[in-house]
Amino acid sequence: MHWSSGDGVRLDILAPSLPFLADTGDDVNENSIVVMLRYRGFRELFMGDAGEASEARLVATGHDLHADVIKVGHHGSPYASTPDFVAAVRPWIAVISVGRHNTFGHPASRTLRAWIGVGAHVLRTDLCGAVNFSETSSTTIFACVTAE
């Protein structure tokens, strides 16, 4: 499925797809909505709470998963960001949405190493607060609003 606005924004819904993933140990998260936003030459991938099973399915479909920015799946848990998926996305920026004092230990060090390993700048909401993106005629700019 996809949706387009009148000003050039396009949203491609990449997941979930039928048949839904089952018996994954975390079926609700693995069937998260995954969206690729496209605007001019910019691409951002929103992974929801998708983890390894959803990532494997996305890679297997042959979708072009490359994105300038990714909202990392499952809050940076160790159950997402597999090597094949990270290599397929290879973003400039990886945003991990995670609470400052979460009890899960997110983000996992393995997950951080995976995104840094492909050259991504990792921005974490527990450290940055909000992450804002804006575009000029020649570049995309990002800024962190420091958490208090």
Two tokens at 24?
């994954």
Specify whether the CB–CB gap between 111 and 85 falls below 8 A: no
CA distances from 82 to 122, 127, 132, 134, 146 (A): 16, 23, 26, 29, 29
pLDDT score at 34: 96
Range of the domain at 112: 2-144
Q: What is the pLDDT of residues 74-91, one digit of tens each?
A: 888 888 999 999 999 999
pLDDT score at 25: 84
Query: How many structural domains comprise the chain?
Result: 1
pLDDT score at 142: 65
Q: What are phi and psi of 61, to 5 degrees?
A: -70, -20
Below-70 pLDDT ranges, the chain: 105, 135-148
The CATH number given to whatever domain includes residue 59 is 3.60.15.10
The verdict on pTM exceeding 0.75 is yes
pLDDT score at 29: 80
Nearest to 36 by CA among 18, 75, 8, 10: 10
